[in-house]
Structure 1
Amino acid sequence: MKTTEMALLVQDAVLLPDGRIEVRIASPSQLSMIANVFKGQYPLAFAAAKAHSPLPCYVTATQCDIIDFNQLEDDSLSIVLEGRQRVKILSAAQQRNQIWIARTLPCANWRNEPIAGEFEIISAALEQFYEVNPDLLGLYSQTHLEDATWVSQRWLEVLPMYNKDKLILVEQPNCHKTMNFVLQLLKSHVGA
C-alpha cells in the first residue's frame, strides 16, 4: 500500500468516515495549513489530540475534505470537514511554521450494513439526539439511519467518552462492538 503525506489537524474530537464536524481555525499556522490544503499541496487528516506522546495525536486518523467555510466575527475561520477515509499515522513531523505533516497509510473503512432487530433502537435514539441538537443535524444534507456503520460512527463522534476509549472501538474490523456498546449504554440508561 502506498503512503501519503497529509497535513494534520489535531483537535480534542473524533471524526470518522461520512461524519461531519465544524472546527474553528484561529492560529496563523492553522490558517496557513488550510491555505496549503486548498492549494492542493497536501490532503488533510483529522486526528484526536493525545497528551504526553511523541506525536500530537492518536495514530488512527481520518482523511477529510473541507466542504464549507465561513469567516467568523472575530476574523477566525470556521470550516466544516467531512470524513472520507480512515488512515494510520506512521510518522509525523512539525515544520517551522508549527504545521504537522504526517506520513499516513490508508486503512479499511467499515462496510455499510443494515440495522436490524434490537439494534433499531440505536438508530431511533440517534434521530432523537439530532432533534435536540439541531446544529449537529444541520451539518448533514441527509442522514443514513438505516445503516449500522453510519449510525455507530456518529455515536462514536458524539458520545462523551475519552478519545482513547472511542478509538479502541474505531480500530475494530467492523461496527459490531460499537453497536453492542451503544445498545448496552441505552439499555442501562432506560433502566436507570
Structure 2
Amino acid sequence: MRTKEVALFIQDAVLLPGGRLEISVVTPSDLCVVADVLKGYYELAFAPLKVNSDLPCYIAATQCNIIDFNQLDNGCLSIIIEGSQRLKILSAAKKRNGCWIARALPCPNWTQEPIVGEFEIISAALEQFYQVNPNLLELYSQTHLEDAAWVSQRWLEVLPMYNRDKLILVEQPNCHKTMDFVLHLLKSYVDV
C-alpha cells in the first residue's frame, strides 16, 4: 500500500473504523486542521495523544471523515467524525500554524464476522451501555450489534483504559483478542 499525507487531530481518546466521535474545535490549530481538510489539502486522521515521545501521538491512527457540524452553546464549533481506515503513522511534522501533518500507511481494517455463542453477551452489554449513554448512541444512524469487529471496536473506544493498553488490542490483526478481553471483563464483573 502507498503512504499518504494526513492532517492529524490528536486527542486523549481512541477512534476506530466505523466509530463516531464529537470533537470541540477550540484552538486555532484545530480550526486550521478542519479548514485544510475541508479545502481538500489533506485527508483527516484521528490519533491518540502520546506524551514524552518523538511523535505527538501513538502510531496507530484512524483516517476519518467529517460527517456533521454543530455550534456549541459557547459559540465554538464541534464536528462529528467517523472513522474509516486504520493507519500507521510513520512520521509527523508540525506546521507554523500549529497543525500536525503526518505520513501514514493504510493498514487492513478488521473484517466483519458474526457474534456467536457466549460472545453474544458482549453485544447485549454494549446495547445496554448505549441505553445508559444515549448521547453516544445519538451519534449513530444505525448500530451493527451483530458484527464482532464493530462491537469490539466500540468497546475499545469507550472502555476506561489507558490508550497504550487499548492500542495493544487495536494493533491485532482481528477482533478476537478484544472479544476475549471484553468477555473476561464482563464475566469478572458479573462474578463480583
* Structure-to-structure mapping, 1:87-166, within 5 angstroms: 87-166=87-166
Structure 1 unpaired stretches of 5+:
none
Distance 2:69 2:59 in 1: 27
* 1:135-192 alpha-carbon deviations (Å, 9 max, x no partner): 0000000000000000000000000000000000000010000000000000000001
- Give the superposition deviation at 1:28: 1.2
Which runs of structure 1 show a deviation greater than 2 angstroms over 4 or more consecutive aligned residues?
none
* 1:90-138 alpha-carbon deviations (Å, 9 max, x no partner): 0000011110000000000000000000000000000000000000000
SS at match of 1:88: strand
Percent of matched pairs sharing the same residue:
71
- Give the superposition deviation at 1:73: 2.5
- Give the superposition deviation at 1:32: 1.4
- Give the superposition deviation at 1:74: 2.1
Q: Partner residue of 2:56?
A: 56
Q: Partner residue of 2:42?
A: 42
Distance 1:140 1:128 in 2: 15
Give 1:174's aligned amino acid.
N
SS at match of 1:57: coil
Q: Does 1:71 align with 2:80?
A: no
SS at match of 1:21: strand
Q: Does 1:9 align with 2:12?
A: no
- Give the superposition deviation at 1:33: 1.2
SS at match of 1:118: helix
Q: Partner residue of 1:181?
A: 181
CA RMSD of aligned residues (A): 0.6
- Give the superposition deviation at 1:38: 0.6
Distance 1:73 1:97 in 2: 26
Q: Partner residue of 1:171?
A: 171
SS at match of 1:58: coil
Distance 1:177 1:28 in 2: 39
